[in-house]
Amino acid sequence: MSGRMPPEWEAHERTIMGWPCRAELWGDRIEQARVEYAGVANAIAAFEPVLMIAPPALAGEARAMLSGDVEVWPAAIDDSWLRDSGPIFVGEAAVCFGFNAWGGKFPPWDDDATIAGRVCDYLGRPWTRSEMVLEGGSIAIAADGSLITTEQCLLNPNRNPGWSRERIERELLDRLGPTRVVWLGDGLVEDRDTDGHVDMICMPAPGGEVLLQWCGEDDPNFPRMAENRRRLEAAGFEVVLCDVLARDGEDTMSYLNAYVCNGAVIVPQAGKPELDERALAIYRRAFPGREVVGVPAMTIAFGGGGPHCITQQVVPAP
């Protein structure tokens, strides 16, 4: 390992994204999904370059909906969650982990299993392959260099059957260079697709604190979040409770699935003014000096995530 995965608020060269293309996932909401993805891309492009990967048949449509500051690259992908299928940069080079569509839930994934290496080749950046299956949304880097993750996801046998906790932890330390691994327990009850990704419940901040999803005692997530709070505090973190979670029918939107880019934080919005403003205020306090930009994201939540799930940062080469 020749580098380290930096916290998300350190400098980016660009952001990579993928265009919504899996009809089985979005159904009759695919057009609104594309509107929201374009909104996220255009918001980020005001602060740093964006590379949008689109299946060749959809590249023209993507180009028409995106600002001129977004580059469109026609390339084969199966799905549009580049946080999870894309490369993870540790300096000049990237690590390309295995990808199996969140434990084999959403076939086919042949193109997504190779997109990390292909995008590195396109950008002219070196990369190495890890045998471990890992999605980028399952890990977060804190200000002290700790890597935060959940047992529910990384220890799930549908990712790396036969791998022990110790082997998984060693691979994370060797490949990504964190100072330690901090294990939370479970993610959101509603987060069945990813088996508890940490980026739905937790957001490290540059001041050293960690934003954590919180809820009332009558919420089914309360026991999980109380245990995660206990573990974070035991690890020495100052925990800031984020007591906003948007629900609309069967859709649940996590405000913690925000994306930190150069000079800004891109925060999902549910169209619920009181909740939306409370979330924006939390980010203004946690990320002083950065512009906090709200973007509609309830359809992205229907698909299973938010602005963080659909973006992956590329750090500058030294």
Active-site positions read 309
CA–CA gap between residue 245 and residue 49 (Å, rounded): 30
- How many C-alpha atoms does 61 have within 13 Å on its Cβ side? 14
Q: Say whether 134 sits in a helix, a strand or coil.
A: coil
Beta-carbon count within 10 A of 316 CB: 12
Distance CA 225, CA 144 (A): 22
C-alpha span between 193 and 102 (Å, rounded): 7
